[in-house]
Structure 1
Amino acid sequence: MAYTVLKVCGAVYLSWLGLQLLIRPRSSFSEGDDNNVSQGSWFIRGMLGNVLNPKMGIFYVSFLPQFIPAGHSPLIWTFILVSIHVAIGTIWSVTLILSTRFASAVLKKSRVVRVMDRATGGLFLCFAAKLAISTR
């Protein structure tokens, strides 16, 4: 019963978001108060979001042990594997940051903002429909 209530509430909320984006897409990209936040603050927010994410701990505990060689120190190998994962994640994040800096001029155009809002609204409505008809 609780799952059904949560599912229906989620579907209604996604539908509302989707309809808002379809009916009234933004005409321009407004950055709001985010410009007043320092880059260091964004870094801290991102790092805390990752460190406090329980899924990462579950991932490390369940996925990494299979790659630790038998007879070797689990602590050292876990540190090595986590370091590799962090390095790959950092490279990927830097790539995304640099790519979006170049793409930001295009993404801020009013026509692109409207198209993206409408596409996102349609996607939210599809997710809402899928959620509403799902059994589990």
Structure 2
Amino acid sequence: MLELQTIMMFVTASTLLALAPGPDILFVLTQSMTKGSRSGIVIALGLCSGLIFHTTAVALGVAVIFQTSILAFTILKFVGAAYLLYLAYMAFKDASKSKLESDKSPLSLKALYKRGIFMNITNPKVSIFFLAFLPQFTNAEIGNVTAQIFTLGALFMLCAFVVFSLVSLLAGRVGAWFAQTKSGEKILNRAAGTIFAVLALKLAFASK
């Protein structure tokens, strides 16, 4: 059982880390502004669900593979970069459509949830970060370390989801106001496409 002081310190650190500018929060921000708060919250849930993969990887020692194997790290990061480039293409494509055309085939909540999961698990740097971060708050003297890792992972997911959801609500309102005009909607989609492209390049050239 983790001590209360340890939990408080971990929750504080996790909340601050979730607030820090990074691929996940930028992804939530852009999707909420272009698709609405509800979509952003579903994507946030997907992103946080993806953290189950990284937590399990750390708890079972699999995350070490991404830290030590250049091939595994490179394959996963290029898959993630390719997916981000695809999202960038779709955002620019939406920017070229009329509002009526864009509204014809909105993504389902299930598709948005899957998008969040895929976005998260294809970033090997998250596993490496968890590998360095989570064990700092464990203590072998108070119980099973693997169980503590899973507990900490769950707490991090909760903190991240709360932060991302609040960002979604705010960004969704800003996006709805900005997209009242045809030009505003196009600008939002182009901005989202640019951010996705930049994130793709950043991930593609990322090193361990």
Under a length normalisation based on structure 1, what TM-score does the superposition of the two structures give? 0.54
Matches within 5 A, 1:57-68: 57-68=127-138
| Alignment gaps of 5+ in structure 2 | 1-94, 196-208
User: What is the one-letter code of the residue matched to 1:53?
Assistant: N
Kindly tell me: are residues 32 and 54 of structure 1, through their superposed partners in 2, closer, same or farther at Cα, counting changes over 3 Å?
same
Gaps of 5+ in 1: 1-25, 125-136
2:115 aligned partner: 45
| Paired residues, number | 97
| Distance in structure 1 (CA, Å) of the matches to 2:104 and 2:125 | 27
Equivalent residue in structure 1 for 2:102, among 32, 50, 59: 32
1:112 Cα deviation from its structure 2 partner:
5.5
Aligned counterpart for 2:159 among listed residues 79, 88, 93: 88
Shift of 1:82: 0.5
Secondary structure of 1:37's counterpart equals coil
List per-residue Cα deviations over 1:60-88 (Å, max 9, x = no partner).
11111111013231111100110011001
For 1:58, give the aligned amino acid.
I
Which residue in the other structure is 2:76 paired with?
none
State percent identity of aligned pairs. Answer: 23
**How far 1:56 moved relative to its partner?**
1.1
The letter of the residue matching 2:126 is M
Deviation of 1:32 after TM superposition, in Å, equals 3.5
- State the partner residue of 2:176: 105
TM-score (norm 2): 0.37
Relative contact order: is structure 1 or structure 2 higher (C-alpha 8 Å, sep ≥ 6)?
1
User: Residues 42 and 82 from structure 1, CA distance in 2 versus in 1: closer, same or farther, beyond 3 angstroms?
Assistant: same
Q: Give the counterpart letter for 2:148 in structure 1.
A: W
Instruction: Give the match for residue 15 of structure 1.
Output: none
The answer on whether the counterparts of 2:138 and 2:148 sit within 8 Å (CA) in structure 1 is: yes
Give yes or no for contact 2:175–2:188 (8 Å, CA) kept in 1: no
**Alpha-carbon distance in 2 for matches of 1:83, 1:32:** 36
Structure 1: distance between partners of 2:113 and 2:176: 23
Amino acid at match of 2:158: A
In the other structure, the counterpart of 1:19 is none
Q: Does the CA contact (< 8 Å) of 1:29 and 1:113 recur in 2?
A: no
Task: Provide the aligned C-alpha RMSD in A.
Answer: 3.4
Q: Which moved more, 1:33-42 or 1:108-117?
A: 108-117
The residue that corresponds to 1:56 in the other structure is 126
Tell me how far apart the structure 1 counterparts of residues 130 and 115 of structure 2 sit (CA, whole Å). Answer: 21
The 1:79–1:39 alpha-carbon spacing in structure 2 relative to 1, beyond 3 Å, is same
1:20 aligns to what? none
